[in-house]
């Protein structure tokens, strides 16, 4: 499994936790090599949830975090975790991966919104 697939798995896990916080079937499809990466993202999600929300909220102009599409929010959360807490992957790659997830799973305009939001977060 590539990192791209691991990010996708982490995104799906976070998205599912919005609706079923006790969901534990989130590691299906993960091999041993990238399972730790997925677990690191999810551990950071649980440990830094408030801080992650504050980072995102600080960059929303005419929105509240509650108004965001949940798919977009899950994608943004994965990217913020990588940018702020993991810091292994170049920022450009993290943003590109988030944009690609948005193109695959979200609305036609979401990738532009996510790109702009993450670019603002990186500027901090």
Q: Is the pLDDT of residue 1 over 80?
A: no
pLDDT tens-digit readout, 30-82? 677 778 888 899 999 999 999 999 999 999 988 899 999 999 999 999 999 99
Residue 17 vs residue 124, higher pLDDT: 17
Q: Check residue 29 and give its pLDDT.
A: 61
Q: Check residue 63 and give its pLDDT.
A: 83
77 neighbors 45 (Cβ within 8 angstroms): yes
Domain ranges of the chain: 3-123
- With cut-offs at 50, 70 and 90, classify the pLDDT of residue 25: low
Q: Check residue 61 and give its pLDDT.
A: 85
Report the 10 Å Cβ neighbour count for 50: 8
Q: What is the DSSP letter of 31?
A: -
pLDDT tens-digit readout, 102-118? 999 999 999 999 999 99
Q: Is the pLDDT of residue 3 over 60?
A: yes
Residue 54 vs residue 3, higher pLDDT: 54
* Closest CA relative to residue 83, chosen from 71, 65, 95: 95
Q: Check residue 27 and give its pLDDT.
A: 60
Q: Check residue 23 and give its pLDDT.
A: 65
| CATH classification number, 3-123, choose in 3.40.50.11740, 1.10.940.10, 1.10.3720.10, 3.30.2130.30 | 1.10.940.10
71 neighbors 110 (Cβ within 8 angstroms): yes
């Amino acid at each position: 499994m590539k990192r791209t697939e691991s990010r996708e798995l982490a995104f799906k896990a976070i998205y599912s936790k919005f609706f079923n916080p006790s969901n534990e079937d989130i590691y299906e499809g993960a091999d041993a090599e990238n399972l730790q990466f997925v677990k690191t993202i999810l551990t950071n999600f649980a440990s830094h949830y408030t801080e992650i929300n504050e980072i995102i909220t600080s960059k929303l102009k005419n929105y509240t975090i509650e108004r965001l599409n949940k798919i977009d929010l899950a994608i943004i959360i994965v990217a913020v975790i990588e940018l702020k807490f993991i810091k292994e992957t170049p920022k450009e790659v993290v943003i590109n991966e988030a944009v690609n997830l948005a193109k695959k799973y979200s609305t036609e305009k979401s990738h532009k919104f996510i790109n702009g939001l993450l670019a603002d977060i990186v500027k901090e």
